[in-house]
Structure 1
Amino acid sequence: MRILGVRFKNLNSLVGVWHVDFTHPAYASDGIFAITGPTGAGKTTIMDAVCLGLYGSTPRLGKVTKSSNEIMSRQTGECFAEVTFETPKGSYRCHWSQHRARKQPGGELQQARHEIADADSGTVLESKINQVGEFIEMATGMDFERFTRSMLLAQGGFAVFLQAPPNERAPILEQITGTEIYSLISMKVHARRTEEHDKLEILQAELKGIQVLSKDEERDLQTGLKEKQGQETELAGKANDMRKALTWREGIFVLEKELGKLDEQQQDFEQRRLAFAPESKKLEKSRKALGLEGDYRGVTALRELQDSETRELHDATAMLPEKEKTGAEAFAVKQAAEALLNEARARQMSEWDVIKKVRDLDTQRGEKKKQLAEKDKTIGEIEKQGKGYQSHVESGERELKKALAALEAIREYRTKHAGDVALVTNLSAIERGFALLRDIEAKRIKALEELSMAAGKKESALSECARRESDHEKSCRKFEKSHNNLKGLTDEMTAILQGRDISRWRSEADALKDSERLLLQTGETMERIDRTSTALDGLKTSIGTLNAGRVRILREIKSCTDRKALLEKDIDTLETQVSLLSRIRDLEAERKRLEDGQPCPLCGATEHPYAMGNVPVLNKAEAGLQKTKDEFKKVSHHLNKLEADIVRTAAEIQHTEKELAEKRAALDADEKQCADALLRLRMEVSQVERAGKVREEIAGVQAKIAEITGFVALAEEKGRQEKSARDALEKARKIFDNAGKTLQEARHNLETAVLDHERLTKDCAALAGEMEKARAAALVDVELFGISRIPLDSLDALLKDLTGRKDIWQAKEAEKTAQEKQSDELKAGIEKHQALLHTLEEDLAARRKEYDGLKGEYESLSGSRRELFGEKNADQEEKRLAAEVDKAGKALEKAREDYGQIEKEISALKEKIASLQVKTEHRAKELAQA
């Protein structure tokens, strides 16, 4: 933001229309200027006009409104402020104005007007007061507070800053500009910098301990790494194959273990069969006598049943009299239980009326007891409240006595120091007089010091001005030389870039690099597609081989299964033959007694072929059986091996098919990625030609990148030279500007030093006269309080003494008022608590009378209850009677159940006796016939 001019009318002491044009050569050529003049000349009013024109406010008065306008000149009826300024967004003219009714000095203030317009065309951009401020903030980036802090420091705050000691200036400047946050940021940055610096030192120390590899060592390590990576891939494949083989081996081991268990079970069965051979012979003999066993067992069972039922009949007949006697006793117990139940119920009914009356009495006694408790509690609370009232009365009387004594002491002080009452009204005037004395004395001393310093500055300003003129001429020559050098480098840069901006060359290079990266990725994808296709062909071949092997193994399994079934049949036949031969060999002794034509006692046959000496040889049959078993075992083992092979082959087929599906998915993804990349590269080629075309595109793009990179590198080098030259020119320009400003400042300082020396000489003389007048006026104010002279070095002590006397008088006055108020309050409190205490005593007597009446009624009810029921509990008695009835009822129920059970047992016993008599008589006839 740059202010071009300010125009205003009737502001403070500057009556009429005023205009300051900051674009005038007098301001523009020097670059810096000062607004000077005596106090009241209107220097600050110009700053106020700038703020008023832009924001409608001033740093000293704040917002100027319809109700308050202290900046308008006296005896005028209107005022305005207009500021012309420019920003990167354009030039603007902001106008603020306000007038009184009919623009008369005595008229009422009207609403202010505020508008902003385009400085060139005069078009009004905004005319509403609130929206003008928002437009200014949008155009300049500053609201009123930021503007006054960054561009226009308040006069009073800046004066405090200039007069403060060096160590206090930073906090004051922060307060003026609102930049305290930057001090905190600076402290945080310093702490963070220290922390990061410590980390950097640690990292640098660690870096020094790291030995950098040479190019040969790095190349050897890279070669070794690639070899190790290849070995890792190869070992990973072998490990995968080993894991597969281990899985198959574990399956085979499990199957072999199961086969071994089956062999053990078969051997155990064979041993048990051989061990049972002697018992088998006995079993054959037992089968011969099995024909007569049925009849014998029938007769034996019939006899045992007859004996058993005869014993049961005898026992039942003996038991019947005892059961009948038990039944008579149970009937007597039932009759007694019924009598007890009736007696208990009669007692319960007779006691019921008494219990009801006792309950009514207990209810009345409970109500009376509750009322007595409430009355007793209320009486206790009233007695406690009465004690509190009595305590308040006694403490109030003590406090009243103390307050009256304090009032008497205050009255004595007021009588003794009656003259100090005037300090309450006159002390402010005395303080102003003393302050005026101090200010005048300080100004006089300061003026003398400044007069001495001004004389020295006047002499040094003369020599400084001459030296600055020489520096200004030298810097001008250097600036022209740097300007010519920069122009030559700019022309060379334009020729290298061929009229294009370097950013466009860089953008083109970046686009080519992106294309190169995409082409390289596409080439890698194509290579991966070729490898995947080759791997798919190999997997398909493997699956065909595995399926053929699976079919062959299935055929062998079927053949072995059929062979195993035939061997099982042969083993059964041979085992039967061996068993028969064994039996024939065991009957050799019986065979010797056989005669031709006579029947065999075992089978009844008349022909005896083995009796003629043709006994078969047992060892030959057993040898055939053992040979068949060995062959069966061998076939079984081969079948188990084939089954393990089919499981392993199925697992290999499943794994290969899974790998084939993964390869196909990877191939599809790569084909899709390749097609997308070619589409992005705008390349329409067939699958056969695409690899060669991509390689050609890579070579062409890399050549273009190298060419453009050369242009950019050369341009950047010239750019760096141009930047160095521009920096040198800027440096020379700053030196030239600074030399001009310094020269102007030296001239201004010389003029200022001369004027200051003349002004300070006059100020010292004027301050001496003011001092004498102020001392005489202050002495008149303090003579009333016994002070006859005012030494300048004792002003603070005199003022402190007078202030202390005034404070004591005011404190005593306030204490008197407080004590009087406290006395009145204490008297009222005592009277109040005495009245409350009297009322409470009357209420207490009435409540005690009510308590005694209730107590008599309660004792009368208690006597009636004792006469009727004693101290017994009605609920407990009722429960006891109900329990007796319930107990008698349960006893009767049990007696009835016992009697019924005995009756059932007697009836069942009689039926059993009759049934047994019929059965035994009938069975005796059957045994007699058998």
Structure 2
Amino acid sequence: MKICSVSFLNINSLQGTHSIDFEAFPLSESGLFLLSGPTGAGKTSILDAITVALYGTIPRYSLNRNSNICEIMSRGTGECWASVDFESNGKRYRSKWSTYRSRKKPNGAFQSKEMELSELPSGKIIESYLSKVPAEVERITGLSCDQFLRSMMLAQGDFSAFLKAKENERADLLDKMVGTSQYSAISMEAFKKASEEKQKLAELSAKIDESRLISDEEKTLILAAQDERTILIKNIHTELEILRAAKLWRTNCANFTLDVEAARIAAENVHSQQSAAAEDFTRLATHRRALPAMNALSACESLEARANDMEKEIERLLVELPAVTEEVQRRNSDILTAKNALAAAQGTLESITPSIDATIEFDNLSRIFWRNYPRLRKKKLPLRTISKAVRKSYKEPRKSLKKLSIHLTNCISGSNRMNVMPSLKARSAFLPALCRSSMPPSNTKRSKLDVEKNTLHLAEMQASLTAAHTLAQEKQILAGKLGEQMTAKDHELTAILTTSTLESLAESLALYHERHAHHGRLLDLATQFQAKIERRAVLREDFRLGQERRIILTQEIADHTAKIEAGSTHLDALRTILDLQKQIQTYEQARGELVAGEACPLCGSTHHPFVDHYESKTSSAEQDVKAQETLLKNLDLKRREFESESASLNAAQLAREDEGKRISADVQSLENSFAATAKLAEVTLTIEAIDALRELMQAYENNGKALAEQKTKADALKKQWELLRESHQQAEKAFEMSQNDAEKLALKTADLAANAERLAAEYTEATTKRERRKALVDSMVEQFSIANQANPLAELTERAAEWKKRSTALQESNTQIATLTEKSNALTAQLAERSHALEEIRLKIAQEHREIERVKHERTELFGEKNPLDERKLLTENIRKAGEQTEKAEAAYRNAGERLAEVRSTLSTRDSDIKKIRSDEKVATADLLQSLQTAGFATPDELRKALLSSEEFTTLEEREKMLLEAVRDAERQLFDKQHHLTQEQDKALTEQTIEEITEEIRLREVRTSDLLQEVGKFDEILRKDKELRTEFADITKAIEVQKQEYMRWEKLNDLIGSAKGDKFQRFAQGLTLVRLVRLANIHLRQLNDRYILEKIQSENLALQIIDTYQADERRAVESLSGGETFLISLALALGLSDLASNRTQIDSSSSTRFRHLGQRNARHGNVSPRKPPSDRQKRRRNIARRNDERAHSDADTSD
């Protein structure tokens, strides 16, 4: 790593922006340069800027908890930053640190700090998180912050203190500078590991001491006692078998007696039930007797049912045949109707034309009549008035008589008139009626209208009938489709239920749920069993470990007891030595008081040769006594701890034994429950096979799911089938209703057709009569030469009236002529005749009025208030429509004819079939009568009454069978139990009662239990002895292995181990100091060749200086001057830099008082060519070389 430049803003006393480029002249050409200035000038601030830019921290701020690193910002400023460009592994980087106050004001609060690491010259940001930039700098440079401070930012003041410190203080300073605390941890770990291995060895030895094995003599006695008790148990078992057999015999005799009595009661109950059911069984026998005849009756009924079905079908076809025939006829009638309608419309138009003309004329006459009618009514006079008028006009008739006589004579004189008059006279009575009948009468018109209305109604009924048949066919088709769907669903259900039914499937599913619960119970029991077994194994392992630990604790207690005893003996010896040392000290005091030439107070000698050269051999016995007392106290405390642990371990072992017993009982209970549940679930697996049980349960669950899915599908299909069946039934009912409606409509249509035929016949007859009358009227019109052929009635009426008048006048004239001689009588007769004529006139007027009203009514019925001209237009339109209907009716007629042929063919086939069935029915009837006579029944009704329903027959038959079997079983059981009782009583095994036998059995079982417990105790003693022997062998092997492990760690503890860790740490510090001195001497030769730094070999951390200018005199470091101390400290700092950067290339280093850059040699003053070495320099180099070789040898030893 090489620092290329540093830039910063507002760092401590250096306000503003500052930049130092170490690659620019003159710094780039200087190997060593000095930062000088008064205190507070900012020398250290430059180094702080480098440290904070790289690692975001400053050591002198970090050591003070109350200090904030942001305080390096110059006072009165609002922001600061530091940036360092450095080179590592051939690449350049820039690391920058910055912070600011709020709004960059001098009095603002400090804000968050920021760091950024980028690559030069591209400026690519490598990291910008404050917490990650120092780690990235460490990754690039290979130097942590501490290593950077030790290798590059050298604290020269620490080495000044290091040189002048005492040995213990120097060790702390050396540990602070180079870090040797890990060696202390290694030393303590070695000491701890050796102690642990020793403790393990003592625990194993204690187990051996605690193990007590049974001797061979004890084992022989135990086996003999065990065999003796085993023989006793066998003898007691033999006696128990005899007693139990006797007890069983007594129990069997009592039970057989009870069984015999119960069998007798059961037989009586069965016989009573059989007697109570005698009447039902009689009915059952009658039913069986009627079954053969019932077959013949069923055959007859079947044939009858078939015949009825055929007849129904024939009836249906016959019903349909008229409908079809009627359809054909209707279609034919439609054709005829259409054609008739066309012809009728044309004829109506032709026929109604005169009516229309007559109606028009009638309307005109009616208007004239009603206009003259008031005048005629005024001419009506009372009878007296008319009589007076006649009397007054008595003369006038006479005159008229004359005229009439003349006229009569004239009429008689014309032969044609005379021939016409009698005929006219003969027909005058019915001529008006004949004329009226020749006109279209109202009843004929009504008949025609009725025919047309009936025809329309018949057409509507036939259309309704067709619609009803169509609806019935649709219902029948729907019923057929629903039946097909039912069949399809039934096939699907059959496909699902290939080998079972819905009931068996439900039973299988219920059985699955029941066994699934048992399987779950089995799995739960197996899981609990496995958990109990695992827990018991854990307890056994814990118990075994506890036993091993107890053995170790026993050994430790014994070892500590022995150590305490030995330590007490050693303490006594130390105390004796201490007393002797105290006595020797008194002698040494006396020796110190000896004076040369004076006599010794002890020996009297005046020559004291060893006073000056005597070396005191007084040992630290008093410290040894205190140490031994402390050791004994610690040993006693440790033994008490072991004893307490042993007591706790014993209690824990007892608790484990109790828990193990409970677990064994639970295991036995679980096994029993598992066996019972497995029997219910029909499972043959054992409780240990939990995996197989899980697989079985999984397979059973899969089977159950398949059954549930199959049941769900079958239920859904069954429900759909039932819905389809209901729909099918409803469709069949609808079809039957439609057929009934069609039959009713067919009957109504037939009635309407008959009515239409009757009305048509009546209309035809009326029309024929009208035509005949019309022909007669026409002949009369021609005969009488009637001019007004449009209205001959009026002319004929006038002529008849005129003839009548003339006839009357003629008669009156003849009478007057004949009775001229009669005066009063003739006048009276004439008056009566006049009165009678007047009455006839009045009646005639009334009759004409009624006729007018009738014709008016007929006109109203015919046309109403309609205009005859509009009716003519309407008839013309009807003629056009009738032509179209004729074409449609002909097409429908062809279709109806085809259907009629099909129905007639089917009727012919069914007719032959029913004849055959009727023939077979007669034969079956004869067989039925023969079967009835054979079975003893008079009539089929009596046979039916004797029959039972299928449910009742099945119930009675099963009841009869059950009672017969119950009777046989009861009698057989009674016999068997009596036989068993007799056989059991013949054995006569003992005369004791069952209570006495039970008491003897109890006493022997108690004795057997006691003996088994004793045998079990012997087995447990032998088993434990076997386990102890096996455990003893294992412990012996473990002790050998542990001894080897302990010796290995004890050897390492002797080399580097210590309780506080200072043993190995001091050794490592000494080696590190040797390397540091060697590296420092290299730099010291470059700084000044006068001094050589040397480690004193007899001491760990002691240093001295070899002054080559003073004949290689060795000087203590305390004797160095300030300048010498500076040089030595600088050399040590540079050596530490080399020591810390043994894996990282350091191209720059700095101290708080100087700066060293590059790989050039440092000098004091200007750089000048080196002179040839002097002798002193050569000698100095030889000493340095020897020290280097010694340092290398020490380093190799440490490695």
**Shorter-chain TM-score: what band?**
under 0.3
Give the TM-score normalised by structure 2.
0.19
Higher Cα Rg, which structure: 2
Question: 1 or 2 for the larger relative contact order (CA 8 Å, sep ≥6)?
Answer: 2
Which structure has the highest helix share of the two?
1
